[in-house]
Amino acid sequence: MDRGLYIAMSGAKQNLLAQAANVNNLANANTTGFKADMEQFRSMPVFGPGFPTRIYAMTERPGVNLAQGQLYTTGRELDVAVNGEGFIAVAGQNGQEAYTRAGELRATPTGQLQTGAGLPVLGNNGPIVIPPAQKLTIGQDGTISIIPLGSNATNTAVIDRIKLVNPPLKNLEKHLDGELYLKDAAAIAPDANVALVQGALEGSNANPIAGMAEMIELARNFELQTKVMQQIDENSGVSARLMQMQTA
């Protein structure tokens, strides 16, 4: 009896974990540059002393869907979208170089260029700082040019260049902060082939319709697992009563 109960219990638990990942994707369906998490189930034996006698279900996140989201125009000068393959390099929360496609940039009161999540955008020599300007232009190669305050339109100054990279996708992993990192914790050289579009953003690649369908399927699976546990409990009670009758 306990074998079936264990299998049903572990299956119900893993369904809840998969539902949490799916709900997170749905919650970020409108998040700029969001990349949906993937999940899968597989059976695993319970290891321990002696021969394995139990099997349990396990939910895994084998990777991230790195397909490009839809680009849409905003007209804002600090909004940029990666056109095609590649990523924007930022300084992660742990100090390690991270990569994102969320190009909703902003400048702090001190001029530091950051992502919408507050991560510093990296340039040729570290985090980018933008001085006060009356106009700012970001080129396809990430070059940031400004017209300083009080200058005429012909006085253009190049401030820095956003670090654009194109690492092998198989070497990337998503951390809890939602950003992508290289698995070997190394930095990568800029790639001149990565192009930006100024005044545009990349939307999330999470599919709300597919997410809702998966939510319904996972809910039905959870209900099935709980019914199995209930049936096993009822069978266990019947067996106990039969044993009592035989010993009476």
Q: What is the pLDDT of residue 52?
A: 64
91 and 192 co-located in one domain: yes
Residue-level length of the chain: 248
Give yes or no for a contact between 7 and 231, defined as CB atoms under 8 angstroms apart: no
144 and 52 co-located in one domain: no
219 and 136 co-located in one domain: no
Q: Who contacts 25 (Cβ-Cβ below 8 Å, separation ≥6)?
A: 36, 37, 206, 211
Give yes or no for a contact between 104 and 32, defined as CB atoms under 8 angstroms apart: yes
Q: What is the mean pLDDT of residues 39-43?
A: 70
231 and 198 co-located in one domain: no
Per-range mean pLDDT, top range of 54-58, 149-153, 210-214: 210-214
156 and 94 co-located in one domain: yes
Q: What is the pLDDT of residue 154?
A: 77
Neighbours of 232 (CB within 10 A): 19
165 and 132 co-located in one domain: yes
94 and 148 co-located in one domain: yes
Q: What is the pLDDT of residue 1?
A: 47
Q: How many Å separate Cα 108 from the centre of its chain?
A: 25
In this prediction the pTM is: 0.80
92 and 172 co-located in one domain: yes
Give yes or no for a contact between 168 and 66, defined as CB atoms under 8 angstroms apart: no
Number of domains in the chain: 2
217 and 124 co-located in one domain: no
Q: What is the pLDDT of residue 55?
A: 66
194 and 76 co-located in one domain: yes
Neighbours of 238 (CB within 10 A): 9
- The CA distance from 45 to 126, in Å, is 48
150 and 234 co-located in one domain: no
Last residue of a domain, one of 202, 223, 239: 202
- The CA distance from 244 to 211, in Å, is 50
Neighbours of 193 (CB within 10 A): 11
- The CA distance from 248 to 241, in Å, is 10
pLDDT, tens digit, for every residue of 127-180? Answer: 999 998 889 999 999 999 999 887 787 788 999 999 999 999 988 989 888 899
Domain containing residue 141: 71-202
H or E element: which one contains 90?
strand 87-91
pLDDT, tens digit, for every residue of 19-35? Answer: 888 999 999 999 999 99
Tokens encoding 239? 């067996």
Q: What is the pLDDT of residue 28?
A: 93
Q: What is the mean pLDDT of residues 86-103?
A: 92
228 and 118 co-located in one domain: no
